[in-house]
Structure 1
Amino acid sequence: MTAPAEQQDRAAFARQWAEWHARKDEALAGPHGFLAITSLNWLDETPTRFPDAPGAWSSTDEGVVVELADGEELAYEGETLRGRHNFGVPAERASLFPLAGDAAIEVARRGGYDILRPRHPENALRVSFTCTPAYEPDPRWAVPGRFTRFDAPRPTPVGAVVAGLEHVYDAVGQVEFALDGATYRLTAFDGHAPGTLQVLFTDATSGVTTYAANRSLTIDAPDAEGRVVLDFNRATNLPCAYTDLATCPLPPAENRLPVPVEAGERIPAEAQGHAPKSVPAA
């Protein structure tokens, strides 16, 4: 007997979600993914050594500098680096990844601070990871909405999970949608893929069944009339849900929904025992 069309559609929806979620977790737990990070180091003008990376690292007016001792080297952009090397000033929210053996030594800038985050494939957090818990996918949480673009991007300061750190994102518009008869609006930023949107949000499940600080939702590009679909089944944790070595942004104040969104990723086991963190004193 053939299953009813609605049942078939739900099965296909769940299968597509499962394939997407497996890819998402695979990237998170990749050899140099966020679960491989072994330390978060704030650089200053003093050359400093760290136990999980070769060289002495400093933040200068000209950029991030490493001074490699005899016998130390890094591989970067097809070259072998020895001695002193200046990586230049990293772009905000960009990362460079010189390699030291099987480790990637992330050089980045977050909130105006230069940081160093070594990523080692053998890190225990990565090795022990299995999967991220999530609500069962349900088509009713794929909600239609409409995107209204601002006349010009609006620089929007947001807090961070690191006390004293502030991120500034360019808000490009708002997404309006309805849940249970009420209308809500979320401020949206450009997504990682061209044309897509990203919203950071919390809701009434945050800190109960979902991670307290934030979740992220990527929205496919709006059509010519601004129509979008907010598939909350694909609401994901940011890296800070798994490790206290992340600098994740918090949602804008207007993106704190007063209703429960019982869809998407839930609190991971790795969220337990995070230590409070802050930027170093100037």
Structure 2
Amino acid sequence: MTEQTTTTTEAFAAEWRTWHAAQEARLADPHGFLAITGLHFLDGEPRRLPDAPGVWTTGPEGVAVVLGDGEELVVDGEPVRGEHRFGVLPERGGVTARWGDAAIEVAKRGGNDLVRPRHPGHPLRTEFRGTPAFPPDPHWAVTGRYVAFDAPLPTTVGAAVEGLQHVYDAPGKVEFELDGRPLALTAFNGKEPGDLLILFTDATSGVTTYAANRALFVAAPAADGTVTLDFNRAHNLPCAYTGFATCPLPPAENRLPVAVEAGEKIPYERVAGQGAES
């Protein structure tokens, strides 16, 4: 290996370590997914939750909570008491209220209104020791080609929570090769305009990597459709750590028949059988 190649490989690994540290910092935020203590689906029957104040319901006019004597939430910086209506929430949208040092997430997922309290002292967060991963290797950063569909394709996928479904618009697919084998993955819209999100499984899923899914963000394609799939940055979604997440599953065509030995592995919490509430 030449000195230039060694320098390039070291720089690649350093960039990956910075990325992975940022991933773990977001995950372990005091009000991140590791702090969730419950997943409560709402209906028309008033319910008092064990880890949030008030009595909760939902209906045609949206989510409402009735706070008892001495109970208070802070919504949009304003303290509220008595009855408070969050209204009709958009799909994949939500509101976060504060209750002491906890964050009370009120959201809609798969057409269902839900409450997910996030408590910083939850053991899953306080005992988090990072996520194991394959060593970064430039071999797994491959060039692909984005092929747009004639029109975005509504795609229904399952969820980590049984019985729940998500619908995403798939704008196109990414074609690429791994070790000379032609492959393709359906892509969803990413966080930023033009960016892509790919959900997939492969031959390592359920063996060394999380069984249900891994995710990969892809930067917006170049003018000729060229993209880079850096599988070193294939990461776990929150459902890999906790049963209180509603993460989408990959579409059937995104089950790769090859072993992608790159990116994040099964979390320690899943291996140990701890912290993954269901």
Check whether TM > 0.5.
Answer: yes
Deviations 1:31-68 (A, max 9, x none): 11000000111111112111110111111110110111
Match of 1:244 in 2: 243
Alpha-carbon separation, structure 2, partners of 1:172 and 1:219: 13
Alpha-carbon distance in 1 for matches of 2:270, 2:107 = 24
Which residue in 2 is equivalent to 1:222?
221
Amino acid across the alignment from 2:175: E
Give CA-to-partner distance per residue, 1:167-215, whole Å, 9 cap, x none. Answer: 1111110000001111111000001122210000000000000000000
- The yes-or-no answer on 1:117 pairing with 2:116 is yes
Provide Cα deviations, 1:57-92, integer angstroms capped at 9, x if missing partner. 111110110111121111111211111111112111
Corresponding residue for residue 33 of structure 1: 32
Residue 27 of structure 1 aligns to a residue whose secondary structure is: helix
**Could you list the runs of 5+ residues in structure 1 that have no partner in the other structure?**
278-282
1:164 maps to: 163
Secondary structure of the residue aligned to 1:161 is coil
**1:261 maps to what in 2?**
260
SS at match of 2:24: helix
Q: What per-residue deviation string (whole Å, max 9, x for no partner) do you get for residues 102-121 of structure 1?
A: 10001111111111100000
Letter in 2 for 1:35: L
Query: How many angstroms apart in 1 are the aligned matches of 2:103 and 2:212?
Result: 27
Q: What code does the residue aligned with 1:234 have?
A: R
Name the CA distance, whole Å, in 2 between partners of 1:192 and 1:100.
29
d(CA) in 1 for partners of 2:166, 2:27: 22
Q: Which residue of 2 aligns with 1:107?
A: 106
- C-alpha separation between the residues in 2 aligned to 1:187 and 1:276? 30
1:15-164 map, 5 Å: 15-164=14-163
Provide the C-alpha distance between the structure 2 equivalents of 1:11 and 1:84, rounded to a whole number of angstroms.
Answer: 57
**TM-score, normalised to structure 2's length?**
0.96
Deviation per CA, 1:228-267: give whole Å up to 9, x if none.
Answer: 0000000000111100111111100000000000000000
Cα deviation, 1:112-144, whole Å, max 9, x if unaligned, reads 111110000000000000111000000110000
| Structure 2 gaps, min length 5 | none
Moved more, 160-169 or 267-276: 267-276
Distance in 2 between the 1:65 and 1:203 partners?
42
The two structures, once aligned, show a CA RMSD in angstroms of: 1.3
Among all aligned residue pairs of Structure 1 and Structure 2, give the percentage whose two residues are the same amino acid: 62
SS at match of 1:266: coil
Matched, 1:200 2:169: no
**1:280 matched residue in structure 2:** none
Q: Which amino acid aligns with 1:112?
A: G
Q: Distance in 1 between matches of 2:28 and 2:174?
A: 31
Indicate the SS of the match to 1:204: coil
Where do 4+ consecutive residues of structure 1 move more than 3 Å?
272-277
CA contact (8 A) 2:244 2:277 kept: no
Task: Decide which moves more: 150-159 or 124-133.
Answer: 150-159
Q: Given residue 18 of structure 2, which amino acid in structure 1 is its aligned partner?
A: E
How far, CA to CA, are the matches of 1:53 and 1:182 in structure 2?
A: 51
- How many correspondences in the alignment? 275
Cα distance in 2 between the residues matched to 1:45 and 1:33: 28
- SS of 1:152's equivalent in the other structure is strand
Partners in 2 of 1:102 and 1:116 — Cα distance?
16
Partners of 1:70 and 1:49 lie apart in 2 by 14
**Which secondary structure does the structure 2 equivalent of 1:247 belong to?**
coil
Distance 1:94 1:140 in 2: 38
Q: Which amino acid aligns with 2:211?
A: A
Q: Distance in 1 between matches of 2:173 and 2:167?
A: 17
**1:232 aligned partner:** 231
